[in-house]
Amino acid sequence: MAEKYTEDSIRSLDWKEHIRLRPGMYIGKLGDGASQDDGIYVLIKEIIDNAIDEFVMGNGKVIDVSIQDKMVRVRDYGRGMPLGKVIDCVSKINTGAKYDSKVFKKAVGLNGVGAKAVNAMSSYFKVQAIREGQTKVVEYKSGELITDAEIIGSEEKDGTIITFIPDESIFGNCHFILDYVEKLLWNYVFLNTGLTINFNGEKYFAKNGIHDLLERNINGNGPVLYPIIHLKEDDLEFAFTHSSKQYGEEYYSFVNGQNTTSGGTHQAAFREAVVKTIREFYNKDFDTSDIRASILAAIAIKVQEPVFESQTKTKLGSQHIEPGGQTIRNYITDIVKRNLDNYLHKHPETAEAMLAKILQSQKERKEIAGIKKLAKESVKKASLHNKKLRDCRIHYNTNHEKRLDTTLFITEGDSASGSITKSRDVNTQAVFSLKGKPLNCYGLSKKIVYQNEEFNLLQSALNIEEGMDNLRYNNVVIATDADVDGMHIRLLLLTFFLQFYPDLIKAGHLYILQTPLFRVRNKKETKYCYSNEERLDAISKLGKNPEITRFKGLGEISPDEFRHFIGSSIRLEPVLLTRDLSIQEILEFYMGKNTPKRQGFIINNLRIEEDITEVA
């Protein structure tokens, strides 16, 4: 019988209850920190955004950030929150100064939510405001006020200090990957010339805006064909070049300093403007894909009262530069056309190199056109008969609220794929089953992607043939056995992605699934262990003579057990690229000819695992 629907059924939540009950509305997905779009990084960003807004308004050129274990501290040197309104600023929704566009004309945080969301989702949250020789401190626990100190005198510099610890009851046993934090902080200094960020004792500073951003990210893409074109006018700044090695397109786009990782109206307008300008400059109706193939670009724009498609602000939805003003599309087109056309006329050597690249892309596209046609037929047959892909119902290129959870597991063999298929969430988790070992594609051209059935079908499953815009899964997870064969398959797949789709890795979509090596159990409790250390700890906790099982392959793990490993407690290891080596250097080292250097690496890193006897 249905419950009665009466006045008593209607419930009003206070600010913190609503945020804690529906955290995804405020910070996107939760996660444990393995993914760069997990909520714990959004918490950091929300606090730093407020400090950036102070900098943009001319208040404070330095921001200090530190992360020790799970405690985050952000200190700016702006004006400091008004002392009588500190509690309001961090605990009353829709309260803030940014509704007044005269004060924060082109701010990032406009809705008076950011700091409140961080407060509500932190097990500990402290704010100290220092202003005109006085200071006030307030502290919270899970959004509940626990300290409201009196205003006292202070000799510290004006500004705001916020300290918080993400609440484990919301985020689980989370951890910060400092590479993700460093990327976030670098973007802030690239987009805010003159800003210095000190992070855990290191200084972040950039002289040349997004030119430095592009230069920092070029290393992994091989040599560029001409020097970076870097142009600025009014509230638009852009930079781009073409790589000699990369396939596809790669964009870094920003609005008011906010990294719009999902693009939006500004990025779409920029892509159109570049194509239109280049066609007119050369007086040739080049195919769009030939112009944009291998492009590396950054675009930053300032918009008054920007409208984003979600609270996490990763995609711009605004149509106008300012309310009632010029459209973003026309604004960007005018500036790009005028400045880029002038630049190409003044730099004929760059224009020549760009033309050669476009013609080369045109030639390659025509060469593989026939192969692609045959490949598409193969994909259709595979989807009808082979059933290599067990798809899910929700995909990344939709606007559904669970799109960030969408995952494709790439497995080896029927037993492993069968276990995951039976255990998965059919709404958000898909499975792609490999047939044997993939080809070592190091040094091969992109033709091989269409000629090799496994690569062709994998590319089709991901829907990345035309670039990342239509990627069907946010998380692409390599799920292979932890034995020699499994490691080899993993390496071959990594080679495929590095060779042809490095932007999938750079955008933080590729992971390795961590599965347990041991099961330790007694009659009352079962523990799954991912290392020998965890095994020993489990044995000590479960007492005398527990049953110990060593898992040798994914196929040995039953579907019922697999649900523990690919559900809310899933352990993913992100595939990260460092700036120490280029992609070509990485591929040459691991997949090139056997060199003494690699042999030395294998010997130095060889681990002989202890033989564990299974106890019946």
Task: Say yes or no: 117 and 260 in one domain.
Answer: no
User: In the chain, what percentage of residues exceed pLDDT 70?
Assistant: 86
Least confident of 187-191, 343-347, 612-616: 612-616
Q: Give the CATH number for residue 415.
A: 3.40.50.670
The pLDDT value given to residue 128: 97
Structural domain includes residue 9: no
CA distance 109 to 27: 13
Residue 610 reports pLDDT greater than 50: no
For residue 349, what are the contacts with CB-CB under 8 A and spacing of at least 6? Answer: 226
- The residue whose two tokens read 């003494």 is 596
Task: Say yes or no: 372 and 354 in one domain.
Answer: no
Structural domain includes residue 2: no
Instruction: Count the Cβ atoms, other than its own, within 10 Å of residue 531.
Output: 12
The pLDDT value given to residue 307: 87
How many domains is the chain built from? 3
Domain termination residue (choose one: 326, 345, 363) = 363
Task: Say yes or no: 256 and 392 in one domain.
Answer: no
The highest-confidence range among 172-186, 215-229, 392-406, by mean pLDDT, is 172-186
Using DSSP bridges, classify how beta strands 258-259 and 236-242 pair: parallel, antiparallel or unpaired.
Answer: unpaired
Q: What burial letters (b/e) apply to 423-456, b meaning 16+ CB within 10 Å? A: bbbeebbbbbbbeeebbebbebebebbbbbbbbb
Pair of tokens at residue 504: 């999938």
Q: DSSP per residue over 338-384, as a string?
A: HHHHHHHHH-HHHHHHHHHHHHHHHHHHHHHHHHHHHHHHHHHHIII
Domain termination residue (choose one: 340, 363, 386) = 363
The conformation of residue 385, written as its DSSP 8-state character, comes to: I
Q: Is 121 helix (H, G, I), strand (E, B) or coil?
A: coil
Instruction: Summarize pLDDT for 527-561 with one digit per residue, the tens.
Output: 999 888 999 999 999 988 899 999 877 877 888 88
Task: Say yes or no: 143 and 76 in one domain.
Answer: yes
Q: Give the CATH number for residue 246.
A: 3.30.230.10
The pLDDT value given to residue 418: 84
CA distance 32 to 339: 44
Query: Are 302 and 269 spatial neighbours (Cβ–Cβ below 8 Å)?
Result: no
The conformation of residue 241, written as its DSSP 8-state character, comes to: E
Domain termination residue (choose one: 145, 178, 204) = 204
Q: DSSP per residue over 206-240, as a string?
A: -SSHHHHHHHHHHGGG--BSSPPEEEEETTEEEEE
Task: Say yes or no: 550 and 566 in one domain.
Answer: yes
Task: Say yes or no: 337 and 396 in one domain.
Answer: no
Using DSSP bridges, classify how beta strands 71-76 and 159-166 pair: parallel, antiparallel or unpaired.
Answer: antiparallel
* Distance between start and end Cα atoms, the chain: 49
CA distance 289 to 533: 51
- The residue whose two tokens read 């691991």 is 590
Structural domain includes residue 610: no
Structural domain includes residue 271: yes
Task: Say yes or no: 137 and 150 in one domain.
Answer: yes
> Greater confidence, 586 or 156?
156
The mean per-residue pLDDT over the stretch 118-135 comes to 95
Structural domain includes residue 130: yes
Query: Are 184 and 41 spatial neighbours (Cβ–Cβ below 8 Å)?
Result: yes
Instruction: Summarize pLDDT for 464-493 with one digit per residue, the tens.
Output: 887 787 899 999 999 988 778 888 899 999
Task: Say yes or no: 171 and 79 in one domain.
Answer: yes
Tell me the residue range of the domain where 579 lies. Answer: 367-605
Residue 376 reports pLDDT greater than 80: no
Structural domain includes residue 7: no
CA distance 479 to 489: 10
The pLDDT value given to residue 178: 94
Sheet with 250-255: list strands edge to edge. Answer: 229-233, 236-242, 295-301, 250-255, 258-259
Radius of gyration of the CA atoms of the chain, in A: 26
Pair of tokens at residue 88: 């309001």
Q: Give the CATH number for residue 114.
A: 3.30.565.10
Task: Say yes or no: 26 and 167 in one domain.
Answer: yes
Instruction: Summarize pLDDT for 230-275 with one digit per residue, the tens.
Output: 999 999 999 999 988 777 788 999 998 888 888 899 999 999 999 9
H/E stretch holding 483 reads none
pLDDT band at 612 (very low <50, low <70, confident <90, very high): very low
Structural domain includes residue 516: yes
Task: Say yes or no: 298 and 333 in one domain.
Answer: yes
Instruction: Summarize pLDDT for 149-194 with one digit per residue, the tens.
Output: 999 999 999 999 999 999 998 998 899 999 999 999 999 999 988 9
Q: Say what angle helices 265-282 and 328-346 make with each other, to 10 degrees.
A: 40
Provide the greatest CA pair distance for the chain: 81
Q: Is 546 helix (H, G, I), strand (E, B) or coil?
A: coil
Task: Say yes or no: 436 and 545 in one domain.
Answer: yes
The angle formed by the CA atoms of residues 553, 554 and 556, to the nearest 5 degrees, is 75
Structural domain includes residue 6: no
Would you say how long the chain is, in residues?
A: 616
The DSSP bridge partners found for residue 139 are 126, 147
Task: Say yes or no: 355 and 436 in one domain.
Answer: no
Residue 455 reports pLDDT greater than 70: yes
CA distance 36 to 178: 10
